[in-house]
Structure 1
Amino acid sequence: MSASDRAAPAIPDDDPTRTLTIAGPDGPATTWISLAGGTYAMLITGEQTNGRYCLIDMRIPDGGGPPPHRHDFEEMFTLLEGEIEFTFRGEKRTVRAGSTVNIPANAPHNFRNTSGAPARMLCMCTPAGQDEYFLRVGDRIAGADAPPPRLTDDELAQRRQRAADLAPEYRSELL
């Protein structure tokens, strides 16, 4: 039996309780956080997509990026500006603006801006949850140009410990 011979499942009725979402980094509903040396805007949250995905605008200064990690959800990055060095299963690749990178679930990876200039990318995670994790681990800031908080060494250690403690709840593992 071919795929064309099978009856397609019915498309569910429209859910009028879900609304159109229009998001931008300057939108009044956008939450900004400082995390992993970068400034992240929560553009589309899991709450808005019924948990299907989230979309995060990431502004990564030179030297910024998360530690090596892995998680059981798909993660896709589209570089809007600059370039980022991605490490995927131990192999480094430099990716430039205009490129899209998909990280398969469970694969060890991280990224770092080693370009000497700022970079910006969109990150989509499916299903959602990374947005909630980032909000619980990062520090809220006023906007894209707001400086990161000045943290003491003890406060930085507390942030790293909180990220490690919460990672399993969000299906992630810091390596």
Structure 2
Amino acid sequence: MPDIINFGTLELRFLHSKDDTGGSVDIFEMTLQPNARMPIPHYHDRWDETIYGLSGVSTWTIDGQQTDVGPGASVFIKRGIVHGFTNRSTGPATCLCILSPGVLGPQYFTEMAKLLSAGAPPDPVKMKETMLRYGLVPAPAA
């Protein structure tokens, strides 16, 4: 049974993780509701990321360039490159996310979901600490 992690406007469904692929890949479906966005643009230096559009349209900002990803479209995010995403459309957008090698797993997303659903505004210090512990480096504010 795939792990499903819900952030409210963002839902992840893990299909494979570092735990069942021997660290080769993490693969998950991500569904963004309208106006959903990545809370903190970031980069990672231990893995590359490929995003493949399944339905709807999400907008990815990669190294300052915006790209719409719809069904059948894809983007590659090389490690070390700052990126973020949003869903500016009026309907949900779903994409397949492939992290290679698989070093993140569902654990990071489970921890972040708990921080974001605590009922109070999220604690930026705790969010940054969690990101850094898992190898995600928050981008400096522009």
User: How far does residue 36 in structure 1 lie from its aligned partner after superposition?
Assistant: 7.5
The whole-number CA distance in structure 2 between the counterparts of 1:78 and 1:122 is 5
The whole-number CA distance in structure 2 between the counterparts of 1:36 and 1:163 is 17
CA distances 1:10-67 after superposition (whole Å, capped 9, x unpaired)? xxxxxxxxxxxxxxxxxxx211112373011111011101111110111110111212
User: Which structure has the larger Rg over C-alpha atoms?
Assistant: 1
CA-based RMSD of the aligned residues comes to: 1.9
Structure 2 unaligned blocks of 5 or more: none
Amino acid at match of 1:138: A
The whole-number CA distance in structure 1 between the counterparts of 2:135 and 2:21 is 19
- For 1:138, the equivalent position in structure 2 comes to 113
1:48 lines up with 2:20 in the alignment: yes
**Percent identical across equivalent pairs?**
22
TM-score scaled by length of structure 2: 0.85
1:74 lines up with 2:48 in the alignment: yes
Q: Report 1:1-175 matches (<5 A).
A: 29-35=1-7, 37-66=9-38, 67-72=40-45, 73-131=47-105, 132-139=107-114, 151-152=118-119, 154=120, 156-158=121-123, 160-175=124-139
Report the CA distance shift for 1:103/1:36 in structure 2 as closer, same or farther (over 3 A). Answer: farther
The whole-number CA distance in structure 2 between the counterparts of 1:100 and 1:117 is 19
TM-score scaled by length of structure 1: 0.70
Report the CA distance shift for 1:128/1:36 in structure 2 as closer, same or farther (over 3 A). Answer: farther
The whole-number CA distance in structure 1 between the counterparts of 2:35 and 2:60 is 13
Contact 2:52/2:69, CA 8 A, preserved across alignment? no
> Which consecutive segments of 4 or more residues in structure 1 shift more than 4 A?
none
Report the CA distance shift for 1:58/1:83 in structure 2 as closer, same or farther (over 3 A). Answer: same
| Aligned residues between the structures | 135
